Every structure is written in structure tokens, then in C-alpha cells.
Amino acid sequence: MKPVPHATSLRRAPVQRRSAERLTRILDACADLLDEVGYDALSTRAVAQRAGVPIGSVYRFFGNKKQMADALAQRNLERYAERVTERLGQARPGDWRAAMDAVLDEYLAMKRTAPGFSLVDFGNQIPVGSRAEPNHRVADRLTDLLSGHLGRSPDDDLRRVFLIAVETADTLVHLAFRMAPEGDPKVIDETRELLRAYLGRVLD
């Protein structure tokens, strides 16, 4: 079964499989409609129609469309963490370069393929605002995921290192996708080299 958002983002957490599958359909519909019509034109009724569920099913989980977008962002982070974890399982323990490639490559893959990701990614930024909180959330998750692989303690120093790397990558990847629909390859290459230089200084 696909991961569902953490219960704190929902009015009511799904308990039965049928309810979880309905929530998945609702979030899938929300993501598709975000790409098609944008956030301003998004409505809970349109999501219900696209998902093929009664409008009451949407309100069982969400009070409004912002809460839906928040839940979609949390689901994106869960799926991203799963993808990175799978890649780490194929890498040699302690190899921070392979870990960094996994982190960046899977982020780029989701930017290119995940519905609704260009608007909400890992933290609902509608209306557009500070990205600080989502980036802290991503950095904390990566610290927890990567510390064991790197043989490091998940302490404040490592969290700060990953937060700086996440903030840097976030800014440059957004630049790459403003320059080209699939991400400007030269900007992405420069991003990778910059991250390697910084992480090499603190992780080697």
C-alpha cells in the first residue's frame, strides 16, 4: 500500500484498508489537479469528483484545500525517503558521495515525474512563502536516514551540515527548473559539484 500522510495532518487517520485507499485516491486527484488548474482553481468538490468519492469523504480527512496540499507534501516526503532508502541499500556503507547522489537524483526524479510536486514538493508553499520550515523537515529526515549509512552520530553538527546542503540544493535546483522544463543540466552539474566540494570538506 502507498504511504499515507502522518495522522497529524488529517482530521481523521484512516484505519481500514478501504479508507486508506480512498485517501490515496483523494491525494492523487489533488496532485493531478494542481498540475492541471493550479492552486487557486483547485476545489474540494473538484478533487472529490476526480477521485470518484463523495464530497463528505474529502471533508472526513480535510477541512479545506490547504490541508490537502499539506498532506500531499507530507506524502511526498515519505515517498522521497523511501526512494532514498532503497538507493542507500545498494550503496557501500560510509560512501557519502553515493548517498549524496541518491539524495539529489531522487529529488530531481520527483521534480520531473511526481504530480503536483512543482507546487508543493515537501512543504505546502501555497501561497508562496518562506521555505525554511520544509527545508528543516527535509534536513532532519535526511540526517536520520543517512547518519547510520555514514557511521555518524545524528547530532546537531550533522543536522547543520545537511540543512546547509538542502538549502543550497533547493535554491539551485529551483533555478535549474526555471531555466529548463526538465532542469538545466549544466546548473544541475554545478549543483552536484558544489555539494561534493562542501560535503567533502566536512564528511571526509
pLDDT in tens, 29-42: 999 999 999 988 99
Instruction: Identify whether the C-beta of residue 164 lies closer than 8 Å to the C-beta of residue 198.
Output: yes
For residue 3, pLDDT beyond 70: no
Residue-wise pLDDT tens digits, 9-66: 665 666 578 888 999 999 999 999 999 999 889 999 999 999 999 999 999 999 888 8
**pLDDT above 50 for 1:** no
pLDDT at 2 over 50: no
pLDDT digits (tens, 9 = 90+) for 134-165: 888 999 999 999 999 999 999 999 999 999 99
Q: What is the model's pLDDT at position 58?
A: 93
Residue 203, exposed/middle/buried by CB under 10 A (0-12, 13-18, 19+)?
middle
Q: Which domains does the chain have, with CATH numbers?
A: 7-66 (1.10.10.60), 72-203 (1.10.357.10)
| pTM, full prediction | 0.86
The answer for residues whose C-beta is within 8 angstroms of residue 98's C-beta and 6 or more apart is 87, 88, 91, 92
Count the residues in the chain: 204
- Compute the mean pLDDT over every residue in the chain, rounded to the nearest whole number: 88
- What is residue 4's predicted lDDT score, i.e. its pLDDT? 45
| Cα separation, 52 vs 22, whole angstroms | 9
